[in-house]
Structure formats: structure tokens, C-alpha cells
Structure 1
Amino acid sequence: MIQKSSIPTLFEWAGGMPVFEQLTKFFYQKVLQDPLLEPVFKHMSPEHQMHVAHFIAEVFGGPEWYSTADGNHFKMIQKHLNKHLTEQHRQRWVALLLETADEIRLPDDPEFRSAFVAYIEWGTRIAVINSNSDELQMNPDEPMPKWGWGVPGGPFLG
């Protein structure tokens, strides 16, 4: 039986920061070639993909690089205001990210993918809501979300 304290974070299970940086690098290459998403992202800074990698990694239990260097949860949410994202944008963003996750061989065990997809679904749905608003009803000190294994409770090693 696995001890609760020995269960790795999603960040650790995925392979650490190099994996998240690779994921966003290849993902945003796809985004910039996509007819639906390219107009939304064509003006992003060269650092954008790294900020996203650090954000997702931190949410999954990685180092607090986003919070300490790139901003905080409130500042990230503010970046989505008035972007007017649609459900079609969200669905395409999710599809390209999951396609990239498969291509870079992000872990595909059911427990990890369940947690990964759950966060991506949750986060992108919030992004669409916030993108269709011009003001944020949120505490500026709101902590970063922390995502874990969820219902399965950890990797199946059995």
C-alpha cells in the first residue's frame, strides 16, 4: 500500500518543469498556426508560453515561479478581461493542448489524465467567463489554485 506522503504531485508525475515548458512551447506553435486561435494570440509576448508553463506547473504542485516572478492568480485572470473568448475558442484551445500532451508523451495513465483534463476544463471555462467581462469581482490576494489527484487519489500502481 502506498503511503499518502509518498504520492507524487501532478507536477512530479508529469516529469517536472522541462515537460511543462515543452508542452507550452509546442502547443503555442500550433496555436499560432490555427485559423481560429491565431488572431487571439498573435500579439502575445515571446515570454507568454513560459508564463503559461510556470502557471500550470505551479497549479499542479510545482515551484511557485509564476507567483513569485510572473504575477499572481489575480493578475493572470485580469489578462483575460475583455478578450471576448467564445466556447469555440475554448474547445479548440483544449483540443490543441491535449493533442500536444499526447505528442510529447505526457503521462497517459487514467488518474493523471483525469486530473489534467479536469483542470484544463475548469480553467478554460473560467477564462471564457472572465474574458467576457470588463471588471473582475475577485480578491486581489486570491491564492493560486492547487490541483491534485482528485477522486482517484493518486496513481494506480497496481
Structure 2
Amino acid sequence: MNDETTPTLYEWAGGRPALARLFEAFYREVLADELLEPVFRGMDPQHPQHVADWLGEVFGGPACYSTERGGHAHMIGRHLGRAITEPQRRRWVSLLMDAADEVGLPADPEFRAAFAGYVEWGSRLAVVFSRPGANPDGDEPMPHWDWAVPPWRPQPKKTSASS
């Protein structure tokens, strides 16, 4: 769907700086949340930056997560055996949406629909991958998310030629 005039979701979001702010704010809340803190207790201090790289790549930015962290196989491995519950997943989604508002990610309906769609899809896969005994395919490709509908931008008004 992207062409030369439609920015990637990564560009529209504000690139790596915006995603880094998002995940710094988000994980501050996660670590203060009684339902989610046990899942993330002892996380690598660089975890928010790694997740920013992940989402950046998924949203059309540079392939930092794939080249530096091992791509989708690594992300799947980070969820194995964690037994994430549906209430934890929903809280994670809710806190991430709140963080998007807090840091000023674009609030236009097209971006937020794409953002929410990915967050729902990805968090549901995390639950599946985290189930005891899950044996996901480690060779799955890195997901790439795009606009469901390109962002609306006003068109210049047509002027009639003078006679």
C-alpha cells in the first residue's frame, strides 16, 4: 500500500525517537503495575529500546531488531514459557495505548487503527507463544504492518480558471 507519497507507519509515528519515548513511558507503568510487574521483573534495562527497535522494524523502519537481536525467532523465544494470561494481555494493551497518548504519538484514526490492530494481533500471539508446551515455528518471518487505510490529508482546493 505504501507508495512514494504515503509515509510508513514508522515515519508517521515519528521514527525511533518517538518509539523510544513510547516504550520508556510504557515500561515505567508496566513495572509499577501489580498484574504485569511479575512478568517483567528483572528485565534487561535496555528492553524498552529493544522493543522500540522491534516495533520500528515492524512498522517499516530499519531492520535493527533483525540484524542486532535475531528477528522474529528471538522475539518468540522471549515469550516461551511465560504463561501470559488474558487479563495480563489486556492490561498490557491498555497501558500501551495510554502511553501512546502520553507521549503524543499521532492520534489520527488511520494511525491509531493500524497501531491498535498490531498491538492486539501481536499481544495475542504473545499469549499463544507463552503457553506451556507451545512449540512455535522459529523460522516465521518478521512481521510487517502497514496502513489499513492511508492517512487522510486534506487535498488542495481546486480553483476555477478566470474567464
What's the TM-score once normalised by structure 2's chain length? Answer: 0.90
Question: In structure 1, what is the equivalent of residue 114 of structure 2?
Answer: 115
Question: In structure 2, what is the equivalent of residue 86 of structure 1?
Answer: 85
Give the distance between the partners of 2:20 and 2:11, measured in 1 at CA.
14
Question: In structure 2, what is the equivalent of residue 132 of structure 1?
Answer: 131
SS of 1:4's equivalent?
A: coil
Q: After superposition, what is the alpha-carbon deviation per residue over 1:5-41, rounded to whole angstroms, capped at 9, x for unaligned?
A: 2100000001110000010011000000001001110
Give the distance between the partners of 1:53 and 1:116, measured in 2 at CA.
13
Q: Name stretches of at least 5 consecutive residues in structure 1 with no aligned partner.
A: none
Structure 1, 38-47 or 93-102: larger mean CA deviation: 38-47
Amino acid at match of 1:144: M
Question: In structure 2, what is the equivalent of residue 155 of structure 1?
Answer: 151
Aligned length: 153
Give the distance between the partners of 1:40 and 1:127, measured in 2 at CA.
12
Give the distance between the partners of 1:87 and 1:135, measured in 2 at CA.
16
What is the 5 A alignment of 1:52-71?
A: 52-71=51-70
Question: In structure 2, what is the equivalent of residue 21 of structure 1?
Answer: 20
Give the distance between the partners of 1:89 and 1:118, measured in 2 at CA.
18
Amino acid at match of 2:96: L
The answer to whether the Cα contact below 8 Å between 2:128 and 2:134 also exists between their aligned partners in 1 is no
The answer to whether the Cα contact below 8 Å between 1:83 and 1:132 also exists between their aligned partners in 2 is yes
Question: In structure 1, what is the equivalent of residue 75 of structure 2?
Answer: 76
Q: After superposition, what is the alpha-carbon deviation per residue over 1:96-139, rounded to whole angstroms, capped at 9, x for unaligned?
A: 0000000111000000000000000000000001111434231x
Give the distance between the partners of 1:115 and 1:39, measured in 2 at CA.
29
Give the distance between the partners of 1:136 and 1:9, measured in 2 at CA.
32
Over alpha carbons, which structure has the higher Rg? 2
